[in-house]
Amino acid sequence: MSGVALVIVSHSVQLAEGVVELAAQMAKDVALRAAGGTDDGRIGTSFDKVNDAVTELRAAGHDVAILTDLGSATMTVESVLDFLDEEEAAHVKFADGPLVEGAVAAAVTAQVGGDLDAVVAAGRARELFS
Amino acid sequence: MSDSLSVAWADAWIRGAQAVLAEHRMELIDLDRAIGDGDHGENMDRGFKAVVAKLDEGGIADVQGVLKIVASTLMSKVGGAAGPLYGTAFLRAAKAVEGDVDANGVADLIAGALDGIVSRGKATTGEKTMVDAWTPALEAARAAAASGATAAEALRAAATAAAEGAEATIPLQATKGRASYLGERSIGHKDPGATSTAYILNAAADAAEAL
């Protein structure tokens, strides 16, 4: 199925994988990719890991929502988005929300067939803080 | 000394920056440990070593080409905030120059870099970030260019202003990035990003003066 997919970007390999594990529990049909840590597995984020995950999911026909853990992960994601051409950029969006709640809410929304905008809105998870 | 800086200058600049960042790796780590996550020295050292390895492959025709190599390499090799910030800075700097660089070109290059950092990091002056080094550097380079300075003189003015800007971050309270979580406890420490900016611009001036 080629619904909306998620890329979870964290400074920590384990945190990204853990969030994917948690989100998958309520979203068994959603494509979830962890992009945690630097290229060599240190704490940090990797332009290439994020870009590769996005490219792979787009090639499989998914729209892609991306979530991050901290500000510099967000800057890495925004850099990746800047390098997409205009047509691709319409299919890849950043959901600026709390990572764990946002990922679960976004994954569930994708599971029930929400489109990219709905998934991103869920990922922002504003209502959890209102 | 020719008044316009060519690819040879850009190559020497970046190699010089790599050497000085390697030399000051521990200092940047210590500055970043005080108010951040401690990875800045390691990341800048790794990043610029990867850049120099790319430069060693050769075949770069102009200043813009060197700046683009720096941008793409830092973007993919530096894991911390410095990767996207410096990556975007060098990318915008590359877009701001064409051919050899005179004093006005120096100011344009720095303006491009500052513009990239501001748009990526959404910081402004006085927030204890690298913006506090790049902004006075731009003002100094513009003033030097307007008064008829050479490109090397404009770079020296920019480098001096960046170093002063970095020193001036010490009494500031951080309001951007992870240092902002420390609140008032960020006061009294020099910002690592502003410090690495000053080293990089100093290397640019040194390279121009050595031509």
Nearest CA in chain B to A46: B79
**Residue B1: what pLDDT?**
44
Q: What is the ipTM of this complex?
A: 0.84
Statement: residue B37 has pLDDT above 90: no
CA distance A125 to B2: 58
Phi, psi of B112 (to 5 degrees): -60, -45
Average pLDDT of span B66-91: 93
Q: Which domains does chain A have, with CATH numbers?
A: 4-129 (3.40.50.510)
Average pLDDT of span B204-208: 98
Nearest CB to B75 within list A37, A43, A79: A79
**Residue A127: what pLDDT?**
59
Can you spell out the DSSP letters for B46-80? HHHHHHHHHHHT----SHHHHHHHHHHHHHHH--S
**With bands split at pLDDT 50, 70 and 90, how would you rate the model's confidence at A1?**
low
Q: Which domains does chain B have, with CATH numbers?
A: 7-209 (1.25.40.340)
Statement: residue B39 has pLDDT above 50: yes
Taking an 8 Å cut-off on Cβ atoms, the answer to whether A42 and B76 are in contact is no
The percentage of chain B sitting over the pLDDT mark of 90, rounded to a whole number, equals: 92
| Residue A41 C-alpha, separation from nearest chain B C-alpha, in angstroms | 10
Q: Could you tell me the two tokens for B142?
A: 């513009």
Task: Give per-residue pLDDT as tens, A62-96.
Answer: 999 999 999 889 999 999 999 999 999 999 999 99
Say if pTM beats, i.e. exceeds, 0.95.
no
Catalytic residues of A: 11
**With bands split at pLDDT 50, 70 and 90, how would you rate the model's confidence at B190?**
very high
CB A45 within 8 A of CB A13: no
Statement: residue B42 has pLDDT above 60: yes
Task: Give per-residue pLDDT as tens, B97-136.
Answer: 999 999 999 999 999 999 999 999 999 999 999 999 999 9
Task: Give per-residue pLDDT as tens, A21-75.
Answer: 999 999 999 999 999 999 888 999 999 999 999 999 999 999 999 999 998 899 9
Q: DSSP state, A91? A: T
Residues of A whose CB is below 8 A from B177: 71-72
